[in-house]
Amino acid sequence: MSDLPKRVSIDEEGPREGFQSEKKAIPVADKVRLIEALADTGLERIACVSYVNPKRVPTMADAEEVAARIRRKPGIQYSALWLNQQGLERALRGPLDVYGGVRITASDTFSRKNVGKSVQDALVEQRMSLRTFKDRGMPVEWGIVLGAFGCNFEGEISTDLILARVQSVLDEAELAGFELKGIKLTDAMGWATPRSVERLIGAIRDRWPELEIALHLHDTRGTGMASAYAGLRLGVTKFDASIAGLGGCPFAATDGAAGNICTEDFAFLCEEMGVETGLDLDHLIEVARLAEDVVGRPLPGHVMRGGTLKAARQRAAA
Amino acid sequence: MSDLPKRVSIDEEGPREGFQSEKKAIPVADKVRLIEALADTGLERIACVSYVNPKRVPTMADAEEVAARIRRKPGIQYSALWLNQQGLERALRGPLDVYGGVRITASDTFSRKNVGKSVQDALVEQRMSLRTFKDRGMPVEWGIVLGAFGCNFEGEISTDLILARVQSVLDEAELAGFELKGIKLTDAMGWATPRSVERLIGAIRDRWPELEIALHLHDTRGTGMASAYAGLRLGVTKFDASIAGLGGCPFAATDGAAGNICTEDFAFLCEEMGVETGLDLDHLIEVARLAEDVVGRPLPGHVMRGGTLKAARQRAAA
C-alpha cells in the first residue's frame, strides 16, 4: 500500500454542484450557512456559486448575493465557476477568489449542452479570459477536460481524443503565456470506472510525465468511490467532492442520479487507509446533515448514517 | 488490468438481508414476487429467507410461507440462512436449497448479538449441524467468518485473530470429515476498506494458498464498492450483493445505514471493466425498481437512476 499518497487535498464542490441541481429554490441565507459551515471543517477550497445564465440555471440567479454575504475565513479559498467571459467578469466584480484556468470539453455535444458552444468555439472564446488573467497578473495553472471518461450524448470517448484535448488546452495556455502544472479530468456524466481512470491517467502520464492530475468524479452509476480509489492508487492527490453527495449535473441527461463523490465518505476512506486529508470527519458529518436540512431531502452520503470508525473504536475502548 | 478475473459470480442477498432490515411488514406475496423476479436476471443463487427466531426478527416470521410460495426455476439455487440447529431443521423441512457450511464470528460481542452465543459456544453448537450435513451426505465447502474487518462493539479486529478464526472453522470442518474449499469474509458492520481487504486476503493466502475467498461487503460507510474493487484486483471471484442495495444488519448498531453492496451497481462495475457476471443489467434495474416499490422507499442503488452505459452508447450511436 506504499503507493498511496501520504496526503490528498479535497476541494469542496457541494454548494456549487448542489445548489445548481436542486429543483426547489434554496434561500440565500441557507446557502451562505452551508458554505460558512464547510469552512470550519478543514476544507481549504470551497466552490460557492456559478456565475452562469440565470435563464439556464435559475437556482444560481442569486450568485452575487450569496457571494456577497459569505463571511470569509482567512486562509480559505472561496471559488466560483463561470463558463464564458461575461461570467468571468461577474466573478471578477465579486468578492470571491478567482482562479485562472483553461477548459475544454471532450465531446462537442456535451460542450454545446453544458457551455452553449462547440468545443472549438468555447476554446477560442477563452482566449479573451486568458488575456484577462494575463493582464491582471493572475496565474493559470490548471487545465480542465470536461466529460473526459465518456459522454451520455456521443458515447465512448477515445483516449486519443482526450490526449488531443489535453494538447489543445496546453497549447492555448502556452499561446497566452502560461505553462500549466496540471490537468483536471472531470466526469459529470458518470462514465469513469477504475479501468478507465487507470487507462486515461496512464496515457496522459506517458505523454506528459510532469503534469499533475486531478479528478472530479461523479457517482452517477455507483462507481465513483472505486474510481477515486483507483486514482489514489495511481498517486493522484487532488480530488473534487461534494458534501453529503450533494449535486448532479443539470446538463448530463441523468436527472435524479447522484452527483459528485461524497466529501465525508471519501475523506473517511482516505483516513482509514492512512491517507491524510486535513479534514475533521465528525465536523464534516454535521455539515452533511445540515446539507440535508438545507435541501430538504435525504442525500446519498453513507458515513453520516453508518457513523465513523473512530467513534466505534472509542465506544469499544470505553 | 490483466489481473482482474474473467468472470465473477454474484450471490443475491437482497430478499434475506432486505426483508429482515425493513421496519414495515412486507406482504408475503411481495417478497415472493421480488424473489421470482430476481430469478429472471441471470442470478444463480438467491438468499430468500432467514429461519431465525421471529421474536428477534419479526419480519422473518413468514419464512416458511415465503419459501413455500416461491415458484422455483430449475438451475437456480434458492438459499436460506439459519443460525442454529433449530433453524437448520426448519430449513431442512422446507423446500429451499440447503447448503452445508460452518460459521464463526470474529468478535465475541457481535457473536452474542447476532447469533445469541459466544464464539466458542456457537462453534460447538454447529457440531450438531455438521453431523446433520454428514449424515445426509451434504457437502460442506465453505466456512464463513462474520465481522471479519472490524466490530462496532469491540473495535479493531486483528489479522491474527481472523487467521485463528479461519483455523477454527477449518478444524471444525475437518473434525466432521469435511475439507473446506473456501472462506467467505463478511462485513455486516461496514468496516472494510480496500486496505483491510488487501491485508486480510493477503494474510489468509499466505497461510492457506489453496483456499478460495468470497466477500460479503456492506456499504455502511460508503467504502463497499472500492473494497469490492480491491477484491476484484486480488482475483476474488465470489461476491454477495443485494438488489438496489436493500438491507442492512439489524444487529450491527448502525440503524439507517446502507446494507450490502448493490447488485446492479457492482454488476455494472464488473461488466464495464470486462469482468463477466452472467447477469442481465437492464433486467436487474427493473427488479431494483420493483424492490423500491416493495419496500416503499428509495433504495441506495445508483445505476438504476443514472442509467446504463450500454443504453447511453446505443442512444449515442442512433
Query: What are the structural domains, with CATH classification, of chain B?
Result: 1-98+242-318 (3.20.20.70), 100-217+227-235 (3.20.20.70)
Mean pLDDT of chain B: 94
Cβ contact, residue pair B221, A313, below 8 Å: no
pLDDT given at position B130: 96
Higher pLDDT, B34 or B251: B34
Name which of B273, B301, B306 is nearest A193 (Cβ-Cβ).
B273
Which amino acid, one-letter code, is at A213?
Answer: I
Query: Does the structure show a pLDDT above 60 at B234?
Result: yes
| Residues A42-91 pLDDT 10s | 999 999 999 999 988 888 999 999 999 999 999 999 999 998 899 999 99
Query: Does the structure show a pLDDT above 60 at A293?
Result: yes
For the question of residue A249 being annotated catalytic, the response is yes
| Residues B112-163 pLDDT 10s | 998 889 999 999 999 999 999 999 999 999 999 999 999 999 999 999 999 9
| Residues B20-40 pLDDT 10s | 878 788 999 999 999 999 999
| Residues B181-191 pLDDT 10s | 999 999 999 99
Chain B positions touching A222 (Cβ under 8 A) are: 225, 262, 265-266, 268-269, 301-303, 306
Nearest CA in chain A to B272: A193
Higher pLDDT, B222 or B255: B222
Question: Percentage of chain A with pLDDT > 70?
Answer: 97
- Asked if residues A292 and A282 have their Cβ atoms less than 8 Å apart, the reply is no
B224: number of CA atoms within 13 Å, CB side?
35
- Which conformational region is residue A222 in: left (phi greater than 0), alpha (psi within -120 to 50 degrees), or beta? left
pLDDT given at position A1: 44
| Residues A171-195 pLDDT 10s | 999 999 999 999 999 999 999 999 9
Calculate ∠ Cα B239-B169-B174, nearest 5°.
115
A86-97 mean pLDDT: 95
Can you tell me the distance from the alpha carbon of B291 to that of B299, in angstroms, rounded to the nearest whole number? 8
pLDDT given at position A21: 79
Can you tell me the distance from the alpha carbon of A274 to that of A282, in angstroms, rounded to the nearest whole number? 17
Nearest CA in chain A to B221: A303
pLDDT given at position B21: 79
pLDDT given at position B1: 44
A203-215 mean pLDDT: 98
| Residues A281-291 pLDDT 10s | 999 999 999 99
Compute chain A's Rg from CA coordinates: 19
Phi (first) and psi of residue A28, to 5 degrees: -55, -45
Higher pLDDT, B286 or A298: B286
| 3-class DSSP string for chain B | CCCCCCECEEEECHHHHHHHHCCCCCCHHHHHHHHHHHCCCCCCEEEEEEECCCCCCHHHCCHHHHHHHCCCCCCCEEEEEECCHHHHHHHHHCCCCCCEEEEEECCHHHHHHHHCCCHHHHHHHHHHHHHHHHHCCCCEEEEEEECCCCECCCECCCHHHHHHHHHHHHHHHHHCCCCCCEEEEEECCCCCCHHHHHHHHHHHHHHCCCCEEEEEEECCCCCHHHHHHHHHHCCCCEEEEEHHHCCCCCCCCCCCCCCECEHHHHHHHHHHCCCECCCCHHHHHHHHHHHHHHHCCCCCCCHHHHCCHHHHHHHHHC
Interface pTM, i.e. ipTM: 0.95
- Asked if residues B261 and B225 have their Cβ atoms less than 8 Å apart, the reply is yes
The shortest C-alpha distance from A273 to chain B (Å) reads: 6
